[in-house]
Amino acid sequence: MFSTPTVAGDVLLIGSCAGTFYAFDKRTSKVRWSYNIHQDGNQTSFHGNPLITDQLVLIGTDKSCASGSIGHVYAFDRATGAVRWKYRTAGTPTDIARIGSSTYAASFVDELIALNLADGNLRWKFATGTPNPDCALPSAPIVVGDRVFYAGLWGLRRTGCFGFPPVTATSKASYQCQLLRRVAFWWTPLLSSFFWRTVIAKAGI
């Protein structure tokens, strides 16, 4: 198990390494609902933690960088486990972030995607173009105020990051994150999300 078990109300949510996502009644331990992701293609794992909304549970799936593997971002109905929508990716091992009606996730090909929370439609995507021959886990997107920041594989190797407003990816947002790079210059390339969050907060962006 890689994904952290999460409690949402009276339900315990767990993504197993065997490819099934479970919702247990936390009082009785009985399964309320489950979903086997193998039925949707060559994927097995839940590496990131779920995003919980009033009605949905969002989680990313992957099978590392195995040949022919895929992943999805799933939106399950919290009460029934029905798949409200799913968006296919190259494997999404990160947490899901949210700003209003937009959700954000990253993939093994170092691509950040923005999806509409209601229906899973793609709003925009951004690829750093960084190769990933070692199948490194990409960093999770981080929300600060009304912007989402993504270090990606490029950022972890060069002590930088990218910043975007919630609706579109603009050069202005990237410029603001270039200013952030100067603040973060003295940190090592192996920054964790915690340190990125700290640096962003101190930058006042």
Residues 165 and 79 placed together within one structural domain of the fold = no
**13 three-class SS:** strand
Does 99 share its domain with 20?
no
- Which CATH number characterizes residue 39's domain? 2.40.128.630
> Which of 33, 49, 124 shows the shortest CA–CA distance to 84?
33
pLDDT of the residue at 154: 60
* Whether the predicted pLDDT of 204 surpasses 80: no
**pLDDT tens digits, 70-107:** 999 999 999 999 999 999 999 999 999 998 999 999 99
Report, as an integer, the average pLDDT of 27-36. 96
pTM over 0.85: no
19 in Cβ contact with 41 (< 8 Å): no
User: 108 lies in which domain range?
Assistant: 94-205
- What would the pLDDT profile of 33-44 be if each residue is shown by its tens digit? 999 999 999 999
Percent of the chain with pLDDT over 70: 74
Q: Report the alpha-carbon distance of residue 110 to residue 164 in Å, rounded.
A: 15
Q: How confident is the model at residue 151 (pLDDT cuts 50, 70, 90)?
A: confident
Range 140-158 average pLDDT? 71
The residue out of 93, 118, 148 marking a domain boundary is 93
Q: Can you give the pLDDT at residue 168?
A: 53
Helix (H) or strand (E) holding 156: helix 152-158
What's the pLDDT score for residue 50? 93
Q: 153-187 pLDDT, tens per residue?
A: 765 444 445 555 555 554 334 434 443 443 332 22
Number of domains in the chain: 2
Mean pLDDT for 44-61 is 94
Q: Are residues 99 and 189 in the same domain?
A: yes
**The last residue of a domain, from among 29, 64, 93:** 93
What is the spatial distance between Cα 139 and Cα 191, in angstroms, rounded to a whole number? 10
pLDDT confidence of residue 166: 55
Say whether both 198 and 109 belong to one domain. yes
